[in-house]
Structure 1
Amino acid sequence: MGQIVGAALVSHHPGLMQCEEFRRAMGAGEDSDLIAGYARLRQQLEGLKPDVVVVFDSHWFTTGYHLVDGGTRYTGTYLSDEMPWYLHGVPYDYRGHPQLALDIEAVSRERGGYNRAIQHPDLGRHYATVNLVKHLRLEMSDTPVVTVSSCQNCSWQHFLESGETIGEAIRRSGLRVVLLGSGALSHKFNGIDWKPNHPRIFHESNVSSPENIASDKRAIALMEEGRHDQILARWDEDYRRKPWEAFGAHYLQMLGAMGGAACRAKGTALSAYENARGTGNIHIWFDTEAA
């Protein structure tokens, strides 16, 4: 029987792909703690040695289906159309896992769901996946990666159901899998003419508003307690309204795979809570075996 051996909510923001010298200039002499957090997350992965890493990509927007990328191998050079002035020329070469993608679709069809596998060699990459592949050195470990989209015409319940299907497919697969929800919490950008509140740009006081900071920290505290049910209970009146990146698809699908409201996996912060152009970012690890 397959098993989800670990999971994490992970930041992917493009500033982390700039050189250390530039990051330290933005950080008033200090690097982003999210960089050190990647090293801490790599240690978790090295200890677990998963058969597959599933990335819930908050930048891959689809309509009508939750798509699961079932390619055999991904090779190319990444250029961001959002921030091409510094996120460009990123080479990538990593394996996929076609059978897991097909298994997810099979379980979804059996249940009357909306998860579908796609295996198109020209399908583009998104930096919510590519940045994690690079920082977590998944190419070097030759760990297969399966990316799941964020379907934009969904309610939060649909994301949970998508995750439930993925969790069931993993259980039937015999694979040891780590889930990565790639995205931010509150995701309101500061204006183009915004002036920082703190000289260290990554500092949490530069997140878009005190209300968003407070909301993010409430969610982080609940994750640390393993009370995902309480996050879901407040979803419509709080986290959906902020809103989280991709309306929280990356977290909700990951949570659905781990049991949804019944999940009690406690989170451990692997980084500080930080700003990125107004958005709230953190790495949090969930010990699914302990749960």
Structure 2
Amino acid sequence: MGTLALAAKITHVPSMYLSELPGPRHGTRQDAIDGHAEIARRCKALGVDTLVVFDTHWLVNASYHVNCAPHFKGSYTSNELPHFISNLAYESPGNPVLGRLLARVASDHGVETLAHDATTLAPEYGTLVPLRYMNADQHFKAVSVSALCMAHYLNDSARLGWAFRQAVEQHYDGTVAFLASGSLSHRFAQNGLAPGYAFKLWSPLLERLDRDVVRLWQSGRQQDWADFCAMLPEYAAKGHGEGFMHDTAMLLGALGWSAYDAPVEVLTPYFGASGTGQINALFPVTPQDGRAIPAAQASAADGFSRVATRL
């Protein structure tokens, strides 16, 4: 019935907001902002009605959660980086119908997920920053999904993404984009050293690791995707992946997991920000078997080890 039209791994660095403001950081993240604008342009061209954001700033300790309030509006200051994001005004329509559907289908497939439509819960900035640049005209509805998962298996996040795609394609009357909002390596610069790392990575090791991963994504070979899925738990742990990369597991679960075989398109080339590794990249949506998780995919997903989230 419905369509997953676009999938992407996106940055939400708060320095994008600083880039708008007068001062020494003005204009310095225009490439990342332009990447978001291009994603919005393509979503409009594809007829997308709702942006579903896998938000690595929404911390949860039990179950998966979907914020699908009818409308979002407010003023946001980051408790993590209040000197970067302060009094950011936001407004966007929500999509309770889709949010409830995503939660129901995921739960039906054994991944406990709760939808919150009658709520005062505000989105975190992993959702709000992308919406600022992709949805300033409120053209799209928005749904936010918890992806800073403190006591969760990565394989469940992959299955969540797979179930979300089934929900869209089998039950939803509309067109959707899935956005994995989080960095690659996420090792912030040590306190007191942050200004010197505003535009670079914390270590050469992490930068090399991230760049090798991006090249692997760009190859598009199915074996490379299978290798990446197998290495994801260790990469998330040793590479300091943001939210232990549950957003990435969700995205790849929706795309077919280890059976995926398409090359990513980089819109904003890999860059450093406060020690972390960032990118805007499109993951082409390819046909997948909607009846059940393919055997190879299930095997690879079951091979995930449990990784305890450490911040």
Q: Same fold (TM over 0.5)?
A: yes
Q: Secondary structure at the match of 2:268?
A: coil
Q: Secondary structure at the match of 1:283?
A: strand
Contact between 1:78 and 1:125, CA under 8 Å: does it hold in 2?
A: no
| Paired amino acid for 1:96 | G
Q: Secondary structure at the match of 1:55?
A: strand
In 2, distance between residues paired with 1:186 and 1:115? 27
In 2, distance between residues paired with 1:102 and 1:131? 24
In 1, distance between residues paired with 2:194 and 2:183? 21
Contact between 1:187 and 1:245, CA under 8 Å: does it hold in 2?
A: yes
Structure 2 equivalent of residue 287 of structure 1: 284
- Provide Cα deviations, 1:222-273, integer angstroms capped at 9, x if missing partner: 2112343221121233343212100001111111112111122321110121
**1:22 CA drift (Å):** 5.3
| Paired amino acid for 1:183 | G
Q: Secondary structure at the match of 2:45?
A: helix
Structure 2 equivalent of residue 82 of structure 1: 80
In 2, distance between residues paired with 1:67 and 1:195? 32
**1:35 CA drift (Å):** 2.5
| Paired amino acid for 2:66 | V
Structure 2 equivalent of residue 140 of structure 1: 137
Task: Give 1:58-73 correspondences, 5 Å limit.
Answer: 58-73=56-71
**1:65 CA drift (Å):** 0.8
**1:121 CA drift (Å):** 2.7
In 1, distance between residues paired with 2:50 and 2:213? 28
In 2, distance between residues paired with 1:16 and 1:191? 21
Structure 1 equivalent of residue 180 of structure 2: 181
**1:48 CA drift (Å):** 1.5
1:290–1:40 Cα change, 3 Å: farther
Structure 2 equivalent of residue 223 of structure 1: 217
In 1, distance between residues paired with 2:262 and 2:233? 22
- Provide Cα deviations, 1:147-206, integer angstroms capped at 9, x if missing partner: 1102221121111011111111111213211111001000011112227778xx42xxx2
**1:21 CA drift (Å):** 6.0
- Provide Cα deviations, 1:92-146, integer angstroms capped at 9, x if missing partner: 111111111111222123222212211243112211101111011x141421111
In 2, distance between residues paired with 1:228 and 1:135? 30
In 1, distance between residues paired with 2:167 and 2:146? 16
1:32–1:93 Cα change, 3 Å: closer
Q: Secondary structure at the match of 1:234?
A: helix
Structure 1 equivalent of residue 297 of structure 2: none
Task: Give 1:227-266 correspondences, 5 Å limit.
Answer: 227-266=224-263
Tell me the percent identity.
27
RMSD: 2.2
Contact between 1:60 and 1:149, CA under 8 Å: does it hold in 2?
A: yes
- For structure 2, the residue ranges without an aligned partner over 5 or more in a row are 289-311
Contact between 1:160 and 1:253, CA under 8 Å: does it hold in 2?
A: yes
In 2, distance between residues paired with 1:118 and 1:283? 28
Structure 2 equivalent of residue 9 of structure 1: 9
Structure 2 equivalent of residue 93 of structure 1: 91
Structure 1 range deviating more: 148-157 or 109-118: 109-118
Contact between 1:58 and 1:249, CA under 8 Å: does it hold in 2?
A: yes
In 1, distance between residues paired with 2:19 and 2:160? 37
In 2, distance between residues paired with 1:85 and 1:236? 32
Matched, 1:208 2:206: no
In 2, distance between residues paired with 1:195 and 1:281? 16
Matched, 1:268 2:262: no
Aligned positions, number: 283
Structure 1 equivalent of residue 303 of structure 2: none
In 1, distance between residues paired with 2:279 and 2:85? 21
Structure 1 range deviating more: 9-18 or 233-242: 233-242
Contact between 1:215 and 1:239, CA under 8 Å: does it hold in 2?
A: no
1:243–1:30 Cα change, 3 Å: closer
Task: Give 1:100-111 correspondences, 5 Å limit.
Answer: 100-111=98-109
1:31–1:189 Cα change, 3 Å: closer
In 2, distance between residues paired with 1:22 and 1:231? 41
Q: Secondary structure at the match of 1:287?
A: coil
Contact between 2:184 and 2:241, CA under 8 Å: does it hold in 1?
A: yes
In 2, distance between residues paired with 1:125 and 1:113? 22
In 1, distance between residues paired with 2:22 and 2:184? 24
Q: Secondary structure at the match of 2:121?
A: coil
TM-score between both structures, scaled by the size of structure 1: 0.89
Contact between 1:4 and 1:179, CA under 8 Å: does it hold in 2?
A: yes
